[in-house]
Homo-oligomer: A and B are copies of this chain.
């Protein structure tokens, strides 16, 4: 065991935590990996300088580094490794809105919701909206290239990050990009670090571009007899327009959400779609009419439209509550597979077939408009056989997505839980290219070992 006394001495008082009870709380992230290790210590960095000191100490002592934001990773990206130093950026706080350049400069520990709120005070909007937006940090969002519900129209985190401050493996801090909307000077290093899952450096500041405040959205809810009908309706919508939101929940999910929220959802429905249009005036009305028609053309039993923001938010909140709601029924293996849109109905059918073949429950929610689905495999962890069947189903769903030309992760990242399937998607040459860049930037291999590679 490496002696951390020199690290404690090098950092401000109480920055380094070695209390086993506190460390235990940081071992796992939201993916709750039972194989999580125990960190050597935890650094609660309050500044870029703290992060640099910690990284330099790790480089000197060959200690691996796990960076953690709020620990909301669903793929084990922030799971502790035995003997690693865990560096959390959750105490690095603050956001500055620049209305003239329409940008926000964010400390990494700011919650996504706080960035949104700060922007909203100035009539501006930060679109990316992972379902965990109230409890996930902007630093983690950048490190994983997080997505959300708005992506179908507004893109993902990388589409908003203009600049970063990053601490490199030798402890140097570099500034990449800035507030310019257009800046092509040098390699696209800013974008390389977005989504790098802690492998290349530690993000200590994030500059994001903001949009003018979103128009009030109108919401259309469709109730369908089968998941197949609902996924066909998705294609009917997206082939004609680009809605601001297009979310999918299957019967299992609807039931689980209704159990938790008791909001009067139809438990007999095979699937539900929630679409929004934020196009202004007549264009929005035309888009809503088009969505309603696409739903009806694909055998919707019921189509409900509201321009009441509270009603719309209630349905969106129901969708966001899906993962915790389903989790009440067992442990989860959380998929994040995406396919090119035309393959969505086949993917949904294929997931159902995999569930049947392995006799496990798979609840399906999806950011359907961009082909990104979250099959949630529900299992009893005390039942070894069921746990094994769940794991087999987990594997097969990723295999199915890759076979369809899709991705094993649309927005959660590969982390530790999905890295086994990454070579099947990327191929050996791209894996080698990935390793080449990793080795060049982190020759000691200290940043987030066990993730991706």
A-side residues, CB < 8 A to B, are 98-102, 144-145, 147, 151-152, 155-156, 158-159, 168, 172, 174-176, 178-189, 191-192, 194-196, 199-200, 211-212, 215, 235, 238-239, 241-242, 279-283, 338-342, 367, 370-372, 405-414, 418, 422, 425-427, 429-431, 433-434, 436-441, 452
Contact = CB atoms under 8 A, between A and B. Distances in A.
Contact of A182 (B185, B371, B438): B371
A183 B338 contact: yes
Nearest to A215: B283
A411 B174 contact: no
Among A99, A156, A281, A282: residue with most chain B CB under 10 A: A281
Contact of A282 (B102, B179, B183, B281): B281
A291 to B, nearest CB: 14
Contacts of A178: 340, 405, 407
Given A100-B235, A101-B340, A181-B338, 18 more contacts: A102-B242, A147-B184, A156-B184, A175-B430, A178-B407, A181-B371, A182-B371, A183-B409, A184-B195, A184-B412, A186-B431, A187-B192, A187-B200, A189-B430, A189-B434, A212-B242, A280-B281, A280-B282
Contact of A410 (B184, B191, B418): B184
Number of copies: 2
A204 to B, nearest CB: 14
Contact of A280 (B186, B212, B279, B339): B279
A215 B282 CA distance: 13
B433 A437 contact: no
B430 A441 contact: no
Contacts of A152: 181
Contacts of A439: 440
B174 A430 contact: yes
A155 B418 CA distance: 32
B183 A194 contact: no
Contacts of A340: 98, 100-101, 178-180
B151 A182 contact: yes
A409 B410 CA distance: 32
B181 A370 contact: yes
Contacts of A179: 340, 405
A272 B183 CA distance: 24
A429 B212 contact: no
A248 to B, nearest CB: 14
A174 B433 contact: yes
30 contacts: A99-B239, A101-B341, A158-B191, A168-B433, A172-B429, A174-B429, A175-B430, A178-B405, A182-B370, A183-B407, A184-B409, A185-B414, A185-B426, A186-B414, A186-B425, A186-B426, A187-B196, A187-B199, A187-B437, A187-B438, A188-B192, A189-B192, A191-B191, A192-B192, A215-B283, A279-B280, A280-B280, A280-B282, A280-B283, A437-B441
